[in-house]
Amino acid sequence: MYDETGPPEVLRYEEVPDPSHGPGDVLIQVEAISIEGGDTLNRAGGDLAAHPHIVGYQCAGTILEVGADVLDRQVGQRVVATSLFGSHAELFAVPGSLTWVVPDGLDIVQAACAPIAFGTADDCLFEFGQLQAGESVLVQAGAGGVGLAAIQLAKRAGATVLATASSDAKLERLRPLGLDYGINYRAVDFADAARELTNGEGVNLVVDSVGSTLTGSVRALAYRGRCTLVGQAGRDPQPFDAAMLMMGNQTVTGVFFGAEVFTERVHNMVDRHLADVQAGHLQVLVDRTFPLAEAAAAHAYAESRQAIGRVVLIP
């Protein structure tokens, strides 16, 4: 928790009152917390819902209590849940509609990392990106949670998959997941490289979870190419000239998974992804786990660009 936004050091590990829950909520004993990109951004400068504020979008655990209006969840069920804040704790009160039952046999840490990453990637690629088999897609920040999910989903859909990362070693880790062409953005201009790898045409779709890379992402697009913008990593924001879209009849679409998470479409989609992770058809990569008491160190590591996949807190 913290009383003011700032660097990871603002996080404190202290006792607070148990969260209250209403008739439409469930109370979860938290067993694993996935640190999402939005968690670090909110800690660095987002709104505080309370003082002290408990940050965190997503976690998984076991239901301890069920509100009177919740008819499809039971005490003792393992679930993964998402909400606007509150996951960085031992107890998490959340609407029952924002939970998914963890399939039997799926590790709780893996489950904790799945809905936002795979749900966001799915929306960027298909709901808003309109990716089709035979097209090409460039995934920015391929070693991040959304990037790893997007690589797998795009490859499974029959696309040619390009991705950026900060080192050749990271890119090698992505190849077994479906990466066709890796681009080390520290060594080359990624937009030029993407055009080169597509015989000068450019890619049909870019999934951009970085934000400061948007101008380069558009430069990498083919004629009538699309870019889905899903994040702002908070590092060196750059101005963007929308006029550069016109000559290529290109589009940039902003994507916010949180605005869709209450829909039946998304609920069913995340259920499918959890089942695929359990069956081994999709992979969740967890780089490191930290005790909840070391949340500040975990946030610092998550922001260090060293991780491949998610960083997880264990209460």
For the chain, the domains span 8-113+284-314, 117-258
Q: Give how far Cα 54 sits from Cα of 61, 209, 234, 294, Å.
A: 17, 24, 20, 14
Q: What's the predicted TM-score (pTM) here?
A: 0.95
Residue 125 · residue 131 · CB < 8 Å: yes
pLDDT value of position 233: 63
**Residues in CB range of 34: below 8 A, 6 or more apart:** 57, 58, 59, 112, 113, 116, 117, 145, 310, 311, 312
Q: Are the CB atoms for 202 and 183 separated by under 8 Å? A: no
The stretch 159-163 carries a mean pLDDT of: 98
Residue 305 — very low, low, confident or very high, per pLDDT cuts 50/70/90? confident
> C-alpha angle with apex 114: 3 to 26, nearest 5 degrees?
60
pLDDT in tens, 208-221: 999 999 999 999 99
Interval 103-124 mean pLDDT? 98
Can you tell me the mean pLDDT for 89-106? 97
Check the CA dihedral 102-107-113-118 and report its sign.
negative
**CATH class (in words) of the domain with range 117-258:** alpha beta
pLDDT at res. 239 = 82
Q: How many angstroms separate the first and last alpha carbons of the chain?
A: 14
CATH of domain 8-113+284-314: 3.90.180.10
Q: How confident is the model at residue 180 (pLDDT cuts 50, 70, 90)?
A: very high
Interaxial angle between packed helices 264-279 and 114-122, expressed in degrees from 0 to 180 and rounded to the nearest 10: 120
CA separation for the pair 120, 213 (Å, rounded): 18
Report yes or no: 301 and 309 within 8 Å, Cβ to Cβ: no
Mean pLDDT of the 18-26 span: 95
Residue 234 pLDDT > 90 = no
Calculate the average pLDDT of the chain. 96
Look at phi and psi of residue 248 and say left if phi exceeds 0, alpha if psi is from -120 to 50, else beta: alpha
Percent of the chain as helix, strand, coil, to the nearest 5: 35, 25, 40
pLDDT of residue 235: 57
Taking residues 255-274, report their average pLDDT: 96
Contacts of 105 (CB under 8 A, 6+ apart): 278
Residue 224 scores a pLDDT above 80: yes
